[in-house]
């Protein structure tokens, strides 16, 4: 279950009273910008740890003091000065629990442009993910990683939902700052720009961002939207889940880049023919159980994302948010509001509003095709009339078997069993519900195919 959002979220965008610090105070707070207090390097300068009184923000080394992070822009960097002004204008107008807090700034003509932030004890996600310290690595449990990602997603959702929508343009693991409890805040707003209104793009002749995280469409066109941030977040997601760097020159050439590696045959190899068959049988057993209950359950959202896999690829059916009782075996659920996911919804249910267990069978048929072919439910690269997976699959016959099955299987499947699976899938996606098999028939068919594959070990 996702952690509840317990931190207060003002949800508004308002002017904050930022403190204007004196350069001499920040110099004293950081021990003259001591190398011993260097936290890291940003896009245009360096970041130092400092100490100030928690009430007056004056430099101190004792009493009621709090740590601060002081970002010092290099004197000769004009772009850094311009971006620092953007940060002050932007962060000074927003308050959100998942966005880094800007405490104040300092403009000193003889020196630099300095920004003062709250201090985040665990630095940033990149350092934690790629550290050689086993102590830090152990703290990044699955739940901690998930909590971090949810925090970042909440921060992005806030920026993207503002009336004057903010495009961050530099979402990366180094921009995700972590406090002492590993709560995440989105920082590093130097490249951020307004998209003006929800749905608008920021058009620029100069592409900004960090290698490995930049949206390729933005790179090509110069058009940046909130979806560019989503691309970058997707890379962070992969980085967090896999522990891999965005670029790893030790990987084989074509898989140096993390998103390419994640789609690689090494991952696909885990889904052998037998593994896929085992997954499908697990789902079929779950459906048969639901459909044979006295108070029959109609799932209404059977899809590949609803099939959850443990470390050994054993499948369980999840995502019961749309599920309803059919009351008794054979009854339908009638609704004026059709529920389900695009590409998996029974067309008869769409037309009539009548949903039965045969609607689940239709959806399972789409999943079956998806699992066997490796194709998405909708693929706009296919010829118009074959964009939808069941329509595309129905054009093939037995002779074309190798053309329809997932090429990543590399012909490692029994031809007879594969043909029976495709035939079963096409029966499941029959337009009329009366022409579809029951969940029991589906299960029996799949178990027979498995038995034929493993006659010496028929149990699964």
Q: Any idea which residues carry the catalytic annotation?
A: 170
pLDDT over 50 (residue 235):
yes
Contact 161, 198 (CB under 8 A): yes
Report residue 399's pLDDT band, with 50, 70 and 90 as the boundaries. low
Neighbour count for residue 73 (Cβ, 10 Å): 24
Lowest mean pLDDT across 3-7, 19-23, 90-94, 263-267: 3-7
More confident site: 368 or 132: 368
Q: What is the pTM of this model?
A: 0.56
The arithmetic mean of pLDDT across residues 196-204, rounded, is 55
Report whether pLDDT(11) > 50.
no
Measured at the alpha carbon of residue 171, what is the angle toward residues 167 and 174, in degrees to the nearest 5? 145
According to the model, what pLDDT value does residue 400 have?
Answer: 75
- Higher-pLDDT residue of 443, 77: 443
pLDDT (tens digit per residue) in 299-354: 999 999 889 888 888 899 998 988 988 755 555 555 556 788 888 999 888 888 88
Contact criterion met (CB below 8 Å) for 358 and 298: no
Comparing 279 with 203, which gets the higher pLDDT? 279
Using one digit for the tens of pLDDT, what is the confidence trace for 210-233?
A: 878 888 888 777 888 899 999 899
Average pLDDT on 389-406 reads 82
Rounded mean pLDDT of 185-200? 78
Q: Give the containing element (helix H, strand E) for 125.
A: helix 125-129
The pLDDT assigned to 456 comes to 66
Q: What angle do CA 425, 428, 432 make, to 5 degrees?
A: 145
- Residue among 140, 133, 98 nearest 239 (CA): 140
For residue 455, give the 3-state DSSP assignment.
coil
pLDDT category of residue 47 using cuts at 50, 70 and 90: very high
Distance CA 158, CA 321 (A): 25
Q: Which residues pair with 198 in a beta bridge?
A: none
Residue 289 has pLDDT above 80, yes or no: yes
pLDDT at 250: 61
Q: What is the mean pLDDT of the segment spanning 158-184?
A: 93
The residue that leads in pLDDT, 144 or 12, is 144
Specify whether the CB–CB gap between 204 and 224 falls below 8 A.
yes
pLDDT at 78 over 90: no
Please list the residues that pair with 41 across neighbouring strands.
Answer: 46
Is the pLDDT score of 154 beyond 70?
yes
Comparing CA positions, the residue from 216, 104, 94 lying closest to residue 155 is 94
Question: CA 14 to CA 93: how far, in whole Å?
Answer: 5
Helices (H) and strands (E) in the chain, counts: 16, 18
On average, the pLDDT of the chain sits at 83
- Percent of the chain exceeding pLDDT 70 equals 81
pLDDT band at 252 (very low <50, low <70, confident <90, very high): low
**pLDDT greater than 50 at residue 8:** no
Q: pLDDT grade, residue 383 (50/70/90)? A: low
pLDDT at 266 over 70: no
Tokens of 458: 């028929």
Task: Choose between 89 and 219: higher pLDDT.
Answer: 89
Q: Which two tokens stand for residue 404?
A: 């329809």
The residue ranking higher by pLDDT, 134 or 417, is 417
pLDDT at 233: 92
In the numeric block, which tokens belong to residue 452? 């034929």
Query: Is 12 a residue whose pLDDT tops 80?
Result: no
Say what the pLDDT of residue 270 is. 66
Closest CA to 167 of 118, 222, 247, 105: 222
Q: According to the model, what pLDDT value does residue 6 have?
A: 45
* pLDDT of 158 above 80: yes
Q: What Cα–Cα distance (Å) separates residue 146 from each residue in 140, 142, 236?
A: 9, 6, 12
- The predicted model gives 414-428 an average pLDDT of 92
Euclidean distance between CA atoms 155 and 178, whole angstroms: 13
Domains and CATH numbers, the chain: 19-118 (3.30.200.20), 125-263 (1.10.510.10), 273-453 (1.10.510.10)
**8 A C-beta contact, residue 436 and residue 361:** yes
pLDDT at 412: 85
| Residue range 128-149, pLDDT digits in tens | 998 877 777 678 888 899 999 9
| Predicted local confidence at residue 52, as pLDDT | 94
Pairwise pLDDT comparison (207 vs 347), residue with the higher score: 347
């Amino acid at each position: 279950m996702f952690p509840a959002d317990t931190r207060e979220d003002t949800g508004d965008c308002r002017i904050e009273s930022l403190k204007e610090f004196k350069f001499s105070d920040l110099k004293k707070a950081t021990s003259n910008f001591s190398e011993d207090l260097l936290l890291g390097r940003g896009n245009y300068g360096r970041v130092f740890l400092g100490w100030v009184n928690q009430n007056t923000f004056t430099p101190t080394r004792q009493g009621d003091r709090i740590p601060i992070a002081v970002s010092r822009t290099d004197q000769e960097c004009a772009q850094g000065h311009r971006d620092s002004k953007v940060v002050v204008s932007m962060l000074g107008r927003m308050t959100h629990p998942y966005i880094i807090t800007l405490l104040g700034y300092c403009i000193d003509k003889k020196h630099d442009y300095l920004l003062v932030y709250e201090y985040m004890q665990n630095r940033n996600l990149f350092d934690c993910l790629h550290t050689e310290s086993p102590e830090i690595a152990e703290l990044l449990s699955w739940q901690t990683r998930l909590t971090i990602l949810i925090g970042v997603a909440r921060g992005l959702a806030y920026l993207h939902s503002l009336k004057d929508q903010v495009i961050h343009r530099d979402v990366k693991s180094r921009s995700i700052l972590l406090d002492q409890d590993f709560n995440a805040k989105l920082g590093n707003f130097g490249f951020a720009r307004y998209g003006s209104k929800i749905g608008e793009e920021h058009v620029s002749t100069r592409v900004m961002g960090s290698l490995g995280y930049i949206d390729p469409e933005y790179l090509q066109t110069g058009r940046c939207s909130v979806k560019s941030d989503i691309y970058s977040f997707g890379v962070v997601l992969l980085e967090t889940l896999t522990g891999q760097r965005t670029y790893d020159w030790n990987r084989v050439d074509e898989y140096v880049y993390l998103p390419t590696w994640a789609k690689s045959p090494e991952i696909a190899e885990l889904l052998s023919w037998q593994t896929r068959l085992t997954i499908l049988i697990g789902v079929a057993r779950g459906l048969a159980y639901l459909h044979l209950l006295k108070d029959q359950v109609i799932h209404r959202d059977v899809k590949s994302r609803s099939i959850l896999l443990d470390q050994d690829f054993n499948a369980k059916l999840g995502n019961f948010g749309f599920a309803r009782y059919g009351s008794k075996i054979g009854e339908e659920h009638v609704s004026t509001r059709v529920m389900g996911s695009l590409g998996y919804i029974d067309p008869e249910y769409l037309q009539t509003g009548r949903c039965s267990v045969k609607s689940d069978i239709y959806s399972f048929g789409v999943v079956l095709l998806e699992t066997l072919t490796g194709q998405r439910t909708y693929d706009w690269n296919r010829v118009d009339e074959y964009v939808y997976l069941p329509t595309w699959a129905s054009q093939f016959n037995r002779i074309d078997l190798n053309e329809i099955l997932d090429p990543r299987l590399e012909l490692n499947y029994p031809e007879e069993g594969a043909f029976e699976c495709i035939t079963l899938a096409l029966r499941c996606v029959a337009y009329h519900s009366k022409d579809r098999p029951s969940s029991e028939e589906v299960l029996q068919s799949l178990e027979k195919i498995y038995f034929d594959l493993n006659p010496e070990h028929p149990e699964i």
